[in-house]
Amino acid sequence: MPPAPVNVSSRRPRMRWLDNLWPWLCGASVALSLLMLGALLALLLVRGLGHFWPTTLEEVTLNSGDRFAGYSVREVALPLETGNERLYFTGNQDITGTRWRWVTLAEIADRSQPADLIRVDRTPWGDFIGRLEALEQSGQRWEGDAAWQRLTALLTLPASQREESQLLLSTVSGQTLRQPLANVVSAQAPNAMSWWQKTFVWGDAVWRFLSEGPRAANTDGGVWPAIFGTVLMVILMSVIVTPFGVLAAIYLNEIAHQGQLTRLVRIGVRNLAGVPSIVYGVFGLGVFVYGLGSSLDEWFFSDTLPSPTFGTGGLLWASLTLALLTLPVVIVATEEGLARIPEAQREGAVALGATRLEMLTRIVLPMAAPAMLTGVILAVARAAGEVAPLMLVGVAKLAPQMPIDGDFPYLHLERKFMHLGYHLFDTAFHGEDVQAAIPLVYATALLLVLIVLVLNLTAIFLRHYLRRQRGNEC
């Protein structure tokens, strides 16, 4: 006997509440994702860019009569509810031996914000916080406001033109210090600044962070070499991985016989996308660095051995390793785009007399270009944030030479380079002063996110342009 018909209408009311709930669950998931992303960006913006804002300095007097100057970083509760303890950044490491000081609130007798307190950024000891007593240059001496005006004018000159100048500085506790002006990076009096002056100083500090190199074991200075190395490596990786990924996808989808072997290859490619990145780093170290690199040194650079040229980590091997890591992403995205093209497009082109090559180059590939760019976008997003494989194949804590300079052949693929991801890791965990490096960690993380965003938006706009051009042609 045939089965009895199921009365769907009788069961429908029981599921109607789920149908009404499903859109709300999807919307809530999207809203929660956007909220978490916004919270992350807000944290990076506030903690990262806020580090460069001129902080108001305090002169603190303790019950014991001891005095120091600095600014409050954070406040924590003492155990057993005995009060709170405050952390101050005091600078003056060459005088006191430390740049930080914990003080309980019960110890503080008085706090003030004198307008004559200054903060001087210098090498190699970092910040000095105190007062400017005088400026001496070529037998002349300036004091008070004249000394400050002369100092701000001299800081606009190169360091080589300030070698004969010295600052006479004093701490709030009465200790004096002679500071060569050639080692001074910047000076500011935040307590005497207006809001507009602080904004200008903040902009100048952000620019120096973006345009200068790191100092003080990566806990001070800028990140320009890391920005340059990151962008250059991603560009080289994209140039390498795009043609190989596209050609592999074309072969698997358009040329290869769709049998058991092709299906196994596809499964293998998809599984490669889930391999841990450090495995690719080990592969790059063994095959590219010790294998190809050592062979190139023996063939073309034997006169420099045993000092390696290509037989050590460098920009070329890092780009090849990350190209290999992101190759499955490009293959899968491109093949999905090729599979979505209707078969009638191919058959129509062949029926009109086009060869297979003409059909692929003039019909199929232009239609699949947005999918190719999608694969490149995903590859860029992953490669820009990878750190583990780079630690084995070319990234450096500090690269004294840039990969691009004015010497032939201009692009030096064998040189080590700096990377924002590794710079972030090294600053956070291997710095001499982790507490001082925390704001730079936030700023570097924000910069890395923005660089990935800019690279992705460039590819997205290009993909949108190709889609629009394709629509106009049709």
Length in residues, the chain: 474
Task: Give the percent of the chain with pLDDT over 70.
Answer: 95
pLDDT given for residue 396 in this prediction: 86
Whether residues 388 and 438 share a domain: the answer is yes
pLDDT given for residue 18 in this prediction: 62
Report d(CA 237, CA 383) in Å as an integer.
8
Whether residues 418 and 344 share a domain: the answer is yes
- What does the DSSP assignment read for 6-69? P-HHHHHHHHHHHHHHHHHHHHHHHHHHHHHHHHHHHHHIIIIIGGGS-PPPEEEEETTS-EEE
Q: How confident is the model at residue 112 (pLDDT cuts 50, 70, 90)?
A: very high
- What does the DSSP assignment read for 369-437? HHHHHHHHHHHHHHHHH--TTHHHHTB-S--SS-SB-SSTTSB-TTS-B--HHHHHHHHHHS-S-HHHH
Q: Which helix (H) or strand (E) holds 234?
A: helix 224-250
pLDDT given for residue 309 in this prediction: 84
Q: Is 248 within the bounds of a domain? A: yes
Q: What number is the average pLDDT over the span 309-330? A: 91
Question: Tens of pLDDT along 392-409?
Answer: 998 888 887 788 887 888
Whether residues 331 and 280 share a domain: the answer is yes
Whether residues 141 and 263 share a domain: the answer is no
* Single residue among 148, 178, 194 that ends a domain in this structure: 194
Question: Tens of pLDDT along 115-133?
Answer: 999 999 998 888 999 999 9
Range of weakest confidence among 3-7, 301-305, 415-419 = 3-7
Q: How confident is the model at residue 473 (pLDDT cuts 50, 70, 90)?
A: low
pLDDT given for residue 432 in this prediction: 72
pLDDT given for residue 474 in this prediction: 56
pLDDT given for residue 377 in this prediction: 84
Question: Tens of pLDDT along 246-289?
Answer: 999 999 988 888 888 889 998 998 888 888 889 999 999 999 99
Report d(CA 244, CA 331) in Å as an integer.
8
Judged against a pLDDT cut of 80, whether residue 337 lies above it is answered with: yes
pLDDT given for residue 470 in this prediction: 65
Q: How confident is the model at residue 13 (pLDDT cuts 50, 70, 90)?
A: low
Q: How confident is the model at residue 32 (pLDDT cuts 50, 70, 90)?
A: very high
Whether residues 391 and 449 share a domain: the answer is yes
Long-range contacts of 354-362 (CB under 8 A, 24+ apart): 360/250, 360/254
Q: Is 8 within the bounds of a domain? A: no
Q: How confident is the model at residue 23 (pLDDT cuts 50, 70, 90)?
A: confident
Q: Is 19 within the bounds of a domain? A: no
* Single residue among 79, 97, 112 that ends a domain in this structure: 112
Whether residues 184 and 286 share a domain: the answer is no
Q: Are 196 and 203 in contact (CB under 8 A)?
A: no
Contacting residues for 268 by C-beta, under 8 A, at least 6 apart: none
Judged against a pLDDT cut of 60, whether residue 47 lies above it is answered with: yes
Alpha carbon of residue 6 to chain centroid: 60
Report d(CA 335, CA 327) in Å as an integer.
12
pLDDT given for residue 339 in this prediction: 87
- 166 beta partners: 136, 180
Judged against a pLDDT cut of 70, whether residue 437 lies above it is answered with: yes
Q: How confident is the model at residue 453 (pLDDT cuts 50, 70, 90)?
A: confident
Judged against a pLDDT cut of 80, whether residue 61 lies above it is answered with: yes
Whether residues 168 and 305 share a domain: the answer is no
Whether residues 137 and 94 share a domain: the answer is no
Judged against a pLDDT cut of 90, whether residue 60 lies above it is answered with: yes
Question: Tens of pLDDT along 186-210?
Answer: 999 999 999 999 999 999 999 999 9
Give how many domains the chain has, as a whole number: 3
Q: Is 51 within the bounds of a domain? A: no
Question: Tens of pLDDT along 130-146?
Answer: 999 999 988 889 998 89
Whether residues 359 and 459 share a domain: the answer is yes
Average pLDDT, the chain: 86
Q: Is 153 within the bounds of a domain? A: yes
Q: How confident is the model at residue 215 (pLDDT cuts 50, 70, 90)?
A: confident
The answer to whether the peptide bond before residue 409 is cis (omega within 30 degrees of 0) is: yes
Q: What number is the average pLDDT over the span 29-39? A: 92
Q: Is 372 within the bounds of a domain? A: yes
Q: What is the CATH number of the domain that holds 410?
A: 1.10.3720.10
Whether residues 172 and 235 share a domain: the answer is no
Alpha carbon of residue 408 to chain centroid: 29
Whether residues 149 and 258 share a domain: the answer is no
Q: Is 13 within the bounds of a domain? A: no
Q: Name the more confident of 241 and 467.
A: 241
Judged against a pLDDT cut of 60, whether residue 2 lies above it is answered with: no
Whether residues 252 and 401 share a domain: the answer is yes
The residue segments making up the domain with residue 405 are 224-473
* Single residue among 97, 112, 127 that ends a domain in this structure: 112
Q: Is 44 within the bounds of a domain? A: no
